[in-house]
Amino acid sequence: MRILIEAHHPAHIHFWKYPVRELIDRGHEVLMIGRDRDVMRRLLEVYDWIPAEIPTRRTGKNKFPLVEMLERQWAVAQAIRRFKPDVIASLMGSYTQSAKLLGVRNLVFTDSEFQHFNHRIAHPFADEIHTPDCFYKDLGRKQWRYQGIHELIFLSPVRFVRDASFLGRYPQLQSDHYIVLRLSAWNTFHDLDHVGIGDQVYSFVERVKNDYQIVISAEESKVPPGLEEHALTVAPEDFHQLLAHSQFVLSEGASTASEAACLGVPCVYVNSTEARGYLRLLEDRYQLIRGFSEPVTGIAAALEWLDSLNDPAVRLQFVEVATGFVEDSIDLVDYVIEQLTRESC
């Protein structure tokens, strides 16, 4: 089969990298259409088994989003005509309109209930919409549910291994006795009028800096003024190693929170945007994360939780619970490949 895949965000490359490799090994032809971002180009260099094209931006970085969307639709329509895929797959559903117009079967794999605009403009044109079973929205007859969450497709122990050489690549890390603070850029449409950790980051750093090394990982390098000494930039392909070797994660980002949970690293998530089903699952059923919409309460909970983690037995319990979570889930790589390569229903 000929399979066209969309990657709109660097995290999408992580989602697709193992299904793409397996599809190619089975003799299928795959082409990924990426987005013109430095991080995406870097990841495609590292995961060089992914055949990819990245349409060049024609109107600069600060264009109106609708203009970029139309440009990408045009680029994808051209790729469809040229590559002649049997099926198109994406996480955002960005290309469902082009696929429907050109008569190509298309599948969306989504885990984000809050993307209301995307649901309205993309999902009506999709043939199938695949979601985790914890996805709390009913998307109708097109919806297929599976047991697990997106992050397990690349963080399952079957595919992710802690790299013992990681710390040696970053001499700034004195040991693995560090905490990761993941700060979001807060520049997307769904971030409007919402808050994360905010200025409470200063009080948190002040409280814990004598007990742990603080590592700030900030989207678009937006490190709070005065905390630059704690910033660390790792290669995009090393970010999950950074999480895996850490003692604790305090995150504004939902993906980072769920990634930490999959790795058995305790995480407090502070973000006032709409709840995600996969975060509810990780918090309510497995107690692997704690989520808060208000920063003062979230920081207080993080400090309290850190105190309890001094007990090695408590830390070991997190790893055991994360292992149980993985065992409760399907192999998502197999699931995605099965859906892409079967005959349409």
Asked if the structure places residue 52 within a domain, the reply is yes
Cβ atoms of 134 and 149 closer than 8 Å: yes
Tell me, yes or no, whether 174 and 299 share the same domain: yes
Predicted pLDDT of residue 237: 96
Residue 168 has pLDDT above 70, yes or no: yes
In terms of domains, do 61 and 202 share one? no
Q: Which helix (H) or strand (E) holds 290?
A: strand 289-292
The arithmetic mean of pLDDT across residues 101-130, rounded, is 87
| Residue 56 sits in the same domain as residue 185 | no
- 192 shares its domain with 125: no
Please write the tens of the pLDDT for every residue from 49-104.
999 998 766 555 555 566 766 777 777 788 888 999 999 999 988 788 888 888 99
Are 188 and 274 contained in the same domain? yes
Q: Is residue 273 within 8 Å of residue 306, measured between CB atoms?
A: no
Domain annotation covers residue 264: yes
Average pLDDT, the chain: 89
Point out the least confidently predicted range of 7-21, 34-48, 182-196. Answer: 182-196
pLDDT tens figures, 221-253: 688 999 999 999 999 999 999 999 999 999 999
- Nearest CA among 143, 135, 230, 219 for reference residue 182: 219
* Total tally of structural domains belonging to the chain: 2
Contact 1, 29 (CB under 8 A): yes
Write the CATH number for 16.
Answer: 3.40.50.2000
- Residue 192: predicted pLDDT: 47
53 and 89 assigned to the same domain:
yes
The pTM score is 0.91
Q: What is the mean pLDDT of residues 191-204?
A: 77
Distances (CA, A) of 232 to 34, 172, 179, 185, 242: 26, 8, 12, 16, 10
Same domain, 21 and 93: yes
In a domain, 186, yes or no: yes
Residues 281-303 have pLDDT tens digits of 999 999 999 999 999 999 999 99
* 154 within a domain of the structure (yes/no): no
If asked whether residues 79 and 196 sit together in one domain, one would say: no
> Which residues span the domain enclosing 293?
166-328
Specify the pLDDT at position 185.
Answer: 65
If one compares 69 and 338, the residue with the highest pLDDT of the two is 338
Q: Do residues 243 and 170 both lie within one domain?
A: yes
